[in-house]
Chain A
Amino acid sequence: MTAGNSAQGSDTHEVTLVEAVNLALRRALTDDPEVVILGEDVGTNGGVFRATLGLREQFGYKRVIDTPLAEALIAGISVGMASQGMRPVAEIQFMGFINSAVEQMLCHAGRLRNRTRGRLSCPMVLRAPFGGGIHAPEHHSESTEAMFAHMPGLRVVIPSSPTRAYGLLLSAIRDPDPVVFLEPKRIYRLVRQQVVDDGQGLPLDTCFTLRQGKDLTMVSWGAMIHETLLAAKELARQGVEAEVIDVATISPLDMVTILRSVEKTGRCVVIQEAPRSFGVGSEISARIGEEALLYLRSPVQRVTGYDTPMPYPKNENLYMPSTADIIEAARATLENA
């Protein structure tokens, strides 16, 4: 956290990731009268995860809007509002329910600028909690970020800490193009961090290097950053220095940071919670193969979920990648000397 960045009226808060989201939303609503929050249960209830807690009370019914239960509608009206210069920040209650909004995002949000040759644009944010590990019912634990990453014209941003949640969400709201902002709900309340509510955004389209290391590169995003950092710590105990990169913006992808690290270490493990095939990890691995093959001293390893639907909660842990899996993959890259 950048200290001493205390602009006039900024406060420091010790917050969780979901509270940092709330702080960023509050800041955006305060700073820009065009920002509105909309979604299911975001008003009176403050969101089922409380991401929008207290915003209705502070900003009123016109700016914090409980919509009818209709995800295609939520995305569609956001496109319309954004096209007129508003800044809708829409919430989809769980990523598992985002699917009827996909048509609006794919066919309209991501294309409006292009098909009008810049006459109209779509500065909207579609937020959704995603990922497993909280023993939620069926359809409440998916990680389908690759689906959106595959759609031209959309940014896909995933924070992995309170500070990044705050800074990235502010930048997403200010971005002139549509952003799908996915919040790893498993770590919504995992840690608290000092967040200075100074309205400072963090750069989009940029990876964050969370840990320096010379022996191998570990690339991840979202909740799996937690296991990745634990694995790096354990590897350090064993004398292996891993560099840990938080991708943060899944698309467009900042390959420069990743390539620079892989060129240095020659070894790479990509960690994702999503199913193994056709995911973001596949893209990163392919790009490393295309652009840094000669630096590689070992094949890129992927630690992922399986190509299955997320099991019902009783067996959810069988699906989830673990710290031990990451360590094992890291070891595998090191064995190939």
Chain B
Amino acid sequence: MFDNLDQAPGKLGYIDARGKPVRELPDEIDVAWLQASYRHMVRIRQLDKKAVALQRTGQMHTYPSCLGQEAIGTGIGLAMQDDDVLVPYYRDQATQTIRGVTMQQILQVWGGDERGNLFTGVAAKDFPNSVPIGTQMSHAAGIATAMKSRGIKQAVVANCGDGATSRGDVYEALNLVGVWQLPMVAVINNNQWAISVPRSLQTGTRTLAEKALAVGIEGLQVDGNDVVAVYQAVSQALARARSGKGGTLIEAVSYRLSDHTTADDATRYRDASEVSQAWEYDPVKRLQIFLHELGHWTPTQEQTLLAEVKQQVDAAVTAYLGEVPQAADDFMAYVFAEMTPTLLAQRDQLLAKLERDSVAQGGGSDDSR
């Protein structure tokens, strides 16, 4: 493992890997907050596990697990205000669901259905997760530019991985945040791997946070397995951004406990011992221990939570599996605001072709496909 997961000077942390408080919690963090965070992290972990299981049984396409990243997503989600805008990447299930994206929609997207991006409510102006690495960071800078020029006192949160920081467009976006003093908070989920490429092969800098120096914005490192630390760093950065004091780059140091996606086999390129070592820093377990030792989490509460979460996840899965399919021509209907003559003609061809194929199938004739 290249970046140490321990808390250390210069890396913000409140609850350490063993669930021990290392400093006084911020004022706004009370027991209810901690319990709510814990509940969300457990819920997301269950959803994640279920999504992987669905993929393994052929009911889901390639899925990027967020195992081990729950504290980052949860901390960000809880720090954001409703009118802030989220520009996520594909490991932000925990953030998105706090902003009202449903678990069913998360499953829908990775099950290969565009309707999973039909966010409503708080998330109505959020972006769908970005697949081309790093490209979303300039969208976020653009959203921040729009907020600034319209005098809206809100901010954008944009997330990406450690590997993404090697892309020119990530630097370009951060540079703009510095030069235009944009209300943007960039959170790098440094899970130490970009598929098989370790963080040590991405950059010569000691930390990713110090890249902030190059663009003239605030930068800090936080323990990405400590939900309080992530929350606190993002909250403060958002407050600064909303009050016109400019952007921040937050490096949340964590570890990708899962394969890169369900299409990946991480045993090919990293040692099992590294992964089991990283499990010692599990963001969910430490919060459970912390709450338990405070006297605010009992085995009964745990049982109740697990039952409740199972029911929620199962309901999302049932809804996902029972979806009415999209209309066959939906993939043509949203290319432009209005369908063009060319597309209208192509739609006719598509519908005729489907008719032909269903006749061929219904008639039992051998379909040569």
Residues of A participating in the B interface, judged by any CB pair closer than 8 Å: 40-41, 43-46, 48, 66, 68-73, 96-97, 99-100, 135-140, 227, 230-231, 234, 276-277, 306-309, 311-316, 318-319, 322-325, 327-328
How far apart sit A137 and B328, CA to CA, in the bound complex (Å)? 19
> Closest residue of chain A to B63, judged by CB?
A137
Known contacts: A66-B196, A69-B166, A96-B132. The answer to whether A323 contacts B369 by CB under 8 A is yes
Known contacts: A44-B268, A44-B269, A323-B368. The answer to whether A68 contacts B331 by CB under 8 A is no
B328-366 contacts to A, CB under 8 A, are: 328, 330-332, 335, 342-343, 346, 350, 353-354, 356-357, 360
Q: Which residues of A contact B134 (CB under 8 A)?
A: 69
Q: What is the total of A-B residue contacts with beta carbons within 8 Å?
A: 132
Q: Which residues of B contact A43 (CB under 8 A)?
A: 196
User: Are B113 and A312 interface neighbours, CB within 8 A?
Assistant: yes
User: Are B197 and A66 interface neighbours, CB within 8 A?
Assistant: yes
B172 to chain A, nearest CB (A): 11
User: Are A72 and B168 interface neighbours, CB within 8 A?
Assistant: yes
User: Are B360 and A324 interface neighbours, CB within 8 A?
Assistant: yes
What are 22 pairs between A and B in contact, CB < 8 Å? Answer: A43-B196, A44-B196, A44-B268, A44-B269, A68-B197, A70-B168, A73-B166, A97-B133, A135-B112, A136-B61, A276-B346, A308-B332, A308-B335, A311-B114, A314-B326, A315-B113, A316-B112, A318-B331, A322-B353, A322-B357, A324-B367, A328-B356
User: Are B269 and A45 interface neighbours, CB within 8 A?
Assistant: yes
Known contacts: A40-B197, A314-B113, A324-B356. The answer to whether A137 contacts B331 by CB under 8 A is no
Q: Which residues of A contact B113 (CB under 8 A)?
A: 312, 314-315
B60 to chain A, nearest CB (A): 10
How far apart sit A277 and B341, CA to CA, in the bound complex (Å)? 13
B106 to chain A, nearest CB (A): 13
User: Are B368 and A230 interface neighbours, CB within 8 A?
Assistant: yes
Say yes or no: is B296 at the interface (Cβ < 8 Å to chain A). no
Say yes or no: is B53 at the interface (Cβ < 8 Å to chain A). no
User: Are B346 and A307 interface neighbours, CB within 8 A?
Assistant: yes
B302-346 contacts to A, CB under 8 A, are: 325-326, 328, 330-332, 335, 342-343, 346
B141 to chain A, nearest CB (A): 17
The residue that A324 contacts in the complex, of B61, B331, B357, with Cβ under 8 A, is B357
User: Are B197 and A41 interface neighbours, CB within 8 A?
Assistant: yes
Max chain B C-beta neighbours (<10 A), residue from A72, A137, A276, A328: A137
How far apart sit A73 and B132, CA to CA, in the bound complex (Å)? 15
User: Are A66 and B328 interface neighbours, CB within 8 A?
Assistant: no
User: Are A69 and B194 interface neighbours, CB within 8 A?
Assistant: yes
User: Are B131 and A66 interface neighbours, CB within 8 A?
Assistant: no
User: Are B368 and A313 interface neighbours, CB within 8 A?
Assistant: no
B38 to chain A, nearest CB (A): 30
Max chain B C-beta neighbours (<10 A), residue from A45, A68, A70: A70
A214 to chain B, nearest CB (A): 22
Q: Which residues of A contact B202 (CB under 8 A)?
A: 68-69
Known contacts: A70-B166, A137-B110. The answer to whether A307 contacts B367 by CB under 8 A is no
How far apart sit A143 and B163, CA to CA, in the bound complex (Å)? 25
User: Are A315 and B166 interface neighbours, CB within 8 A?
Assistant: no
User: Are A312 and B62 interface neighbours, CB within 8 A?
Assistant: no
Q: Which residues of B contact A328 (CB under 8 A)?
A: 356
B166 to chain A, nearest CB (A): 4
Known contacts: A70-B166, A70-B168, A314-B113. The answer to whether A137 contacts B61 by CB under 8 A is yes
User: Are A324 and B168 interface neighbours, CB within 8 A?
Assistant: no
> Closest residue of chain A to B163, judged by CB?
A69
Q: Which residues of B contact A72 (CB under 8 A)?
A: 167-168
Q: Which residues of A contact B353 (CB under 8 A)?
A: 322, 324-325
Q: Which residues of B contact A318 (CB under 8 A)?
A: 328, 331, 350, 354
Known contacts: A307-B343, A324-B369. The answer to whether A69 contacts B331 by CB under 8 A is no
How far apart sit A212 and B343, CA to CA, in the bound complex (Å)? 35
Q: Which residues of A contact B164 (CB under 8 A)?
A: 69
User: Are A314 and B112 interface neighbours, CB within 8 A?
Assistant: yes
B341 to chain A, nearest CB (A): 11
How far apart sit A315 and B326, CA to CA, in the bound complex (Å)? 8
Say yes or no: is B4 at the interface (Cβ < 8 Å to chain A). no
In the A-B complex, the 6 residue pairs with the smallest Cβ-Cβ separation, listed nearest first, are A313-B112, A45-B196, A68-B166, A314-B112, A69-B163, A311-B331
Q: Which residues of A contact B62 (CB under 8 A)?
A: 135-137
Q: Which residues of A contact B346 (CB under 8 A)?
A: 276, 306-308
Max chain A C-beta neighbours (<10 A), residue from B61, B131, B368: B368
Say yes or no: is B247 at the interface (Cβ < 8 Å to chain A). no
User: Are B194 and A139 interface neighbours, CB within 8 A?
Assistant: no
A188 to chain B, nearest CB (A): 13
A125 to chain B, nearest CB (A): 21
How far apart sit A136 and B134, CA to CA, in the bound complex (Å)? 19
User: Are B268 and A234 interface neighbours, CB within 8 A?
Assistant: no
> Closest residue of chain A to B340, judged by CB?
A307
B260-319 contacts to A, CB under 8 A, are: 263-264, 268-269
Q: Which residues of A contact B350 (CB under 8 A)?
A: 306, 318
Known contacts: A45-B269, A48-B263, A276-B346. The answer to whether A137 contacts B131 by CB under 8 A is yes
How far apart sit A43 and B133, CA to CA, in the bound complex (Å)? 20
User: Are A68 and B196 interface neighbours, CB within 8 A?
Assistant: no
Say yes or no: is B81 at the interface (Cβ < 8 Å to chain A). no
> Closest residue of chain B to A66, judged by CB?
B197
Known contacts: A306-B350, A308-B335, A323-B369. The answer to whether A314 contacts B328 by CB under 8 A is no
How far apart sit A94 and B91, CA to CA, in the bound complex (Å)? 19
Max chain B C-beta neighbours (<10 A), residue from A44, A100, A314: A314
User: Are A41 and B368 interface neighbours, CB within 8 A?
Assistant: no
A84 to chain B, nearest CB (A): 23
Q: Which residues of A contact B330 (CB under 8 A)?
A: 315
> Closest residue of chain A to B367, judged by CB?
A324
> Closest residue of chain B to A139, judged by CB?
B131
> Closest residue of chain A to B64, judged by CB?
A137
A274 to chain B, nearest CB (A): 14
User: Are A139 and B132 interface neighbours, CB within 8 A?
Assistant: yes
Q: Which residues of A contact B166 (CB under 8 A)?
A: 68-70, 73
Q: Which residues of B contact A325 (CB under 8 A)?
A: 353
Q: Which residues of B contact A327 (CB under 8 A)?
A: 368
How far apart sit A307 and B349, CA to CA, in the bound complex (Å)? 12
User: B176-210 toward A: CB 8 Å interface, digit per residue (1/0)?
Assistant: 00000000000000000011110001110000000
Say yes or no: is B3 at the interface (Cβ < 8 Å to chain A). no
Say yes or no: is B111 at the interface (Cβ < 8 Å to chain A). yes
